[in-house]
Amino acid sequence: MQKKAFSLLLSFILLFTLVLPAAPPVSATNDAKITASQSKNSMTEEREIQITADLGTKTDVNQLKWTFGGKPLEEWKQWDPNAKKYSGKPYITFSEPPAYIEGSTKIKATIKFSLLYGTNDVSPRSLRTLYPALIGNYDLAVSDPSKGKSAVTSMKLNVYDEYLKWEEIKPEVDRISKNAINGRYVSSETLGHSTEGRPMHFMVLAKDKASVDQYLNEIAKQKLENPAAIKRKIENGKLNNYKVPIWINNIHPDESPGVDAIIELYRIMATEKSKTFKTGEPGKEKETNLDIDQALDNVIFLFNFTQNPDGRVHNTRQNANGFDLNRDNTYQTQIETQNLAKGLTKWSPVSLLDFHGFYDEFVIEPCTPPHNPNYEYDLLMDGMMEQAEEMGKAGIANTKYDSYLIPLKDWPNKFDDATPSYTSTYSMFHGAMGHTVEIPDINSESYKALVNAGLGAAKYVSENKKRLFLNQLNVYERGVKGEDNRAVDSWFVNPEGEKIGRDRDGNESFFPDYYVIPVDKKGQKNVLEAHKMANYLIRNGIKVSKSEKKVKADGKTYPKGSYVIDMKQAKRGFINAVLYDGEDLSEWEEMYAEVINNFHDLRGFDRMEVRAENAFAGVLLPVRTAEAPKTKMKGNADSYVIKNSSNEAVKAVNKLLKMKKTVYQLTEDGKNYAAGDYAVSSEDLSSIKKAYYLETVPYNKKVKTVKLQQPKIYSTGSAASKYVLKELGFAFAPSEEEADVVVDDAGLAKKALIQEGKPYIGIGSSALNFIEKENLLPGFDYSTTTGSRASHEGLLRTDVNTEMLQTSGYTAEEKLYIATGSYMKAVPKDSHILAKVSGREDFFISGWWPNHDVLKNQTIAFTKDEMTLFSIDLTNKAHPQYSYRLLANSIYAAGK
């Protein structure tokens, strides 16, 4: 979410405070005290609190004035969802009216605090946005106006007792750390900082520092490099005192019990010697004990209190850029997921728990099919299902919940892990048993369910350390040996449950021997993206090398200097997940989220599979950091052409326009350049060339051009589009009326402005629906299909009209991405088609789009007059970066 969006949210909350019962006041000086049976009130739990007050004199009790937060009790009302204000039934009442104790000036009463929102669960989004404004300390006061006497006590009103605001988390963690049992090692660290600069608080808890040092300096590296050697040490009894990490995580901070449960688990593990809790099925519960000293002989605990600090502050699921981070763990467009990747790469935990909400059921992964074929699923499941059972039994035995649900066991196919973008599924590529844990409610019961599920998980890992660690080592060993073990095949099934195994496409192994990413201009269409991909892999713990020599293999020649990823390494499943083309999962009835990663096509660089064992043996040098190339200005020309071949070109042009420099766009082809490229003076190019990697050639000024003006954009709809436009350097207009171009991916543009001829770029099904519904383009018709959770998506072979400025820099055949299941069935006469789906039989590369044959030869982008429409989802989750220039080109072309 952009900062402007947060301002709007804050304005919305302020509007609601006009009808709230009261804001937490500053405590006043008291003449006397009230004694209360407790000082905590919960919005999600009815409570009766016994009150004793002494004003020193007697008066008519009916004349006494009772207030809470400076507001008369009778003015506190429950939330009325229909009126959308606090105007419902009384929230605070007397269940036992005030009365003097006989022979005393003391007053006794029982005050009842009911459910502020009429429910003990405020997880619905309509309520989740409301409660934070009311959390705080309030004065409960009784006064005698006739005597000028009053008595006051402070009470905490919270959504549930354990909820901590962002600013309360670090002090509470520090308090726990100070109270840690002597000898236990606690280390306060940070995984990095959030979009708005807040630290991602992270705690390491271990038996002692030596345990951490041994793991990080010896085991963590060796288990990736030579897992077989560690296995031998364990089996021979030469390695007994090792510890394995458990990582406990929250990524959606508005699913609030998760954060608070992690803090409580840290408190238990740091400050208690043992913890007794119940486990078992309903009616068969029994007490069990976690001996924490014994657990610390086996486990290192890692607590990531929230992966999204800004979301905890603003009580949002998304981060400050408006992104759902639980869909970004592989894309890693956001700093928070990049930080997490570095942390998981460092620790490679055996188990990861990611605390979430909200389902009607108490849900614990593992997931249903289809499973991502790059997992060593058979090894992960040797423990993952059992751990889920132990978590579930502990979660329900200690709460009001009477059941838990494991999707793999209890559902057919509605909770898949085909995508590795969730925190839990991403962690599985690091060899972790990755569990998403979904609670039903926002209240203390769901908080307790998570705490006890965490205890169950800790006990399970501690007691099964050897087997679970050997399973992780076996995952790594398969990678290091290049083994495609057929034991995994039984986990990969079709919708009928029939085993299909990994699709090896006639090859001996599902995995290639190498991936090669060239960096020479002849073999690489986007040199900068090639370097960025190398750094992405390194950040995720992948070994990347450079070839010292030209190599011939598979009948092809791979240039010297190319990045080479040898697939014989521990986390080769992750490499393949982001660099293979992906799967066609269209036969499945339902998918949970996008399944396409395919960085090479969506981010626009060339990569090659090599299936020749040892093809690069002896010619590889390790790469620690991939250094981006620099812009070169050949010759000594007065002017240069910046090729429209990358997003860097767009950023550079927008930077120059912002600097009030002159930029021309070519409108016809030349000898070494093409329509859509940009012409600038040598002086202006020199001023920015260090900031961008640009392809440039001298310009002879012999082709037609048009002078560019910096367009002001108004973007409706998704945070992703706003983020992308900002990243590309476009200027934003304060209103739709003042904009030069409207970019709309939500169908929220103003109809009248479009009718008046305001240049308009519509992206995806919502925008297409808006144009059709409002009849803004006679002759236009489109079709869209959606699933219950994820829209149909596909990476498609397409035919592109390269004669248009909107498609400058693209070739006649491109692979383009649709995320919202839409295409154009009819376009108006005199439209210019920009792109169509190919008519080839193999047009559908990967994705989930049942009955996708209807897409053949269909239009997916066109322009007419001041309107350009795309069913291509150009900015979806900021991942299809190769498509950004279609948007930028269309913006520059608007109004011409």
812-856 tens-digit pLDDT: 999 999 999 999 999 999 999 999 999 999 999 999 999 999 999
The C-alpha atoms of residue 441 and residue 164 are separated, in whole angstroms, by 17
* pLDDT at 888 > cutoff 90: yes
Region 614-636: what's the mean pLDDT? 94
Confidence band of 790 (pLDDT split at 50, 70, 90): low
Q: Residue 896: helix, strand or coil by DSSP?
A: coil
Q: Can you give the pLDDT at residue 27? A: 37
* Cα 74 to chain centroid, rounded: 44
The C-alpha atoms of residue 744 and residue 182 are separated, in whole angstroms, by 59
* pLDDT at 13 > cutoff 70: no
Confidence band of 624 (pLDDT split at 50, 70, 90): very high
**DSSP codes joined into one string, 463-492:** HTHHHHHHHHHHHHHHHHHT---GGGGGG-
* pLDDT at 26 > cutoff 70: no
Question: What radius of gyration do the chain's Cα atoms show?
Answer: 31
Long-range contacts of range 491-496, CB-CB < 8 Å, 24 or more positions apart? 491/369, 491/371, 491/377, 491/378, 491/381, 492/369, 492/370, 492/371, 492/373, 492/377, 493/369, 493/370, 494/587, 495/369, 495/413, 495/587, 495/588, 495/589
Which pair of tokens denotes residue 4?
Answer: 């402007």
Instruction: Please name the amino acid found at residue 890.
Output: S
Confidence band of 16 (pLDDT split at 50, 70, 90): very low
Region 172-196: what's the mean pLDDT? 97
Percent of the chain with pLDDT over 70: 96
Q: Can you give the pLDDT at residue 805? A: 96
Region 647-655: what's the mean pLDDT? 98
Which pair of tokens denotes residue 537?
Answer: 């892999």
127-147 tens-digit pLDDT: 999 999 999 999 999 999 998
Confidence band of 707 (pLDDT split at 50, 70, 90): very high
Confidence band of 31 (pLDDT split at 50, 70, 90): low
The C-alpha atoms of residue 567 and residue 555 are separated, in whole angstroms, by 20
Task: Please give the backbone phi and psi of residue 480, each rounded to the nearest 5 degrees, phi first.
Answer: -60, -40
Confidence band of 521 (pLDDT split at 50, 70, 90): confident
Which pair of tokens denotes residue 836?
Answer: 């169509």
* pLDDT at 223 > cutoff 80: yes
Cβ contact 571:786 at 8 Å = no
Cβ contact 567:480 at 8 Å = no
For CA atoms 218, 219, 220, 226, the dihedral sign is: positive
Cβ contact 724:743 at 8 Å = no
For residue 325, CA distances in Å to 253, 422, 875 come to 11, 8, 16
Cβ contact 715:4 at 8 Å = no
Cβ neighbors of 283 (< 8 A, separation 6 or more) are none
419-448 tens-digit pLDDT: 999 999 999 999 999 999 999 999 999 999
H/E segment holding residue 288: strand 286-291
What's the number of CA atoms in the CB half-sphere (13 Å) around residue 173? Answer: 28
562-571 tens-digit pLDDT: 999 999 999 9
The C-alpha atoms of residue 406 and residue 396 are separated, in whole angstroms, by 13
Region 79-99: what's the mean pLDDT? 97
Pairing status of strand 65-68 against strand 136-144: antiparallel
Higher pLDDT, 148 or 758: 758
What's the number of CA atoms in the CB half-sphere (13 Å) around residue 679? Answer: 24
DSSP 762: E
**DSSP codes joined into one string, 370-385:** EEPTTS-HHHHHHHHH
Helix segments in 196-308, DSSP class H: 209-214, 220-225, 227-235, 257-271, 292-296
Cβ neighbors of 80 (< 8 A, separation 6 or more) are 86, 87, 88
Residue bearing tokens 């308009």: 760
pTM of the entire predicted model: 0.94
The C-alpha atoms of residue 73 and residue 650 are separated, in whole angstroms, by 60
Q: What is the 3-state secondary structure (H, E, C) of 297-324?
A: CCEEEEEECCCCHHHHHHCCCCCCCCCC
Q: How many CB atoms lie under 10 A from the CB of residue 730?
A: 26
Q: Can you give the pLDDT at residue 785? A: 81
Percent of the chain with pLDDT over 90: 92
At how many degrees (to 10) do helices 465-481 and 572-579 cross? 60
For the question of residue 438 being annotated catalytic, the response is yes
526-561 tens-digit pLDDT: 999 999 999 999 999 999 999 999 999 989 999 999
Taking the alpha carbons at both ends of the chain, their separation in whole angstroms is: 32
Cβ neighbors of 82 (< 8 A, separation 6 or more) are none
358 preceded by a cis bond (ω within 30 of 0): yes
**DSSP codes joined into one string, 14-65:** HHHHTTSS-PPPPPPP-SEEEEES-SEEETTB-EEEEEEEE-SS---GGG-E
467-515 tens-digit pLDDT: 999 999 999 999 999 999 999 999 999 999 999 999 999 999 999 999 9
Cβ neighbors of 95 (< 8 A, separation 6 or more) are 48, 110, 111, 112
Q: Can you give the pLDDT at residue 414? A: 84
Q: Of the residues 45, 264, 438, 648, which is catalytic?
A: 438
Q: Can you give the pLDDT at residue 787? A: 54
Region 313-329: what's the mean pLDDT? 97
The C-alpha atoms of residue 17 and residue 602 are separated, in whole angstroms, by 45
Q: Can you give the pLDDT at residue 1? A: 34
The angle subtended at Cα 616 by Cα 615 and Cα 618, nearest 5°, is 125
Among candidate residues 114, 79, 118, the one with its CA nearest the CA of residue 95: 114
Which pair of tokens denotes residue 439?
Answer: 């609670």
336-361 tens-digit pLDDT: 999 999 999 999 999 999 999 999 99
The C-alpha atoms of residue 13 and residue 25 are separated, in whole angstroms, by 17
Which pair of tokens denotes residue 513?
Answer: 């021997």
97 preceded by a cis bond (ω within 30 of 0): no
What's the number of CA atoms in the CB half-sphere (13 Å) around residue 235? Answer: 8
The C-alpha atoms of residue 571 and residue 511 are separated, in whole angstroms, by 12
Q: What is the mean pLDDT of the chain?
A: 94
Q: Can you give the pLDDT at residue 788? A: 52
What's the number of CA atoms in the CB half-sphere (13 Å) around residue 614? Answer: 3
Cβ neighbors of 117 (< 8 A, separation 6 or more) are 43, 44, 78, 79, 127, 130, 131
Pairing status of strand 556-558 against strand 416-417: unpaired
Helices and strands per DSSP (H, E), number in the chain: 24, 44
For residue 568, CA distances in Å to 201, 502, 539, 617 come to 35, 18, 18, 12
Q: Can you give the pLDDT at residue 6? A: 39
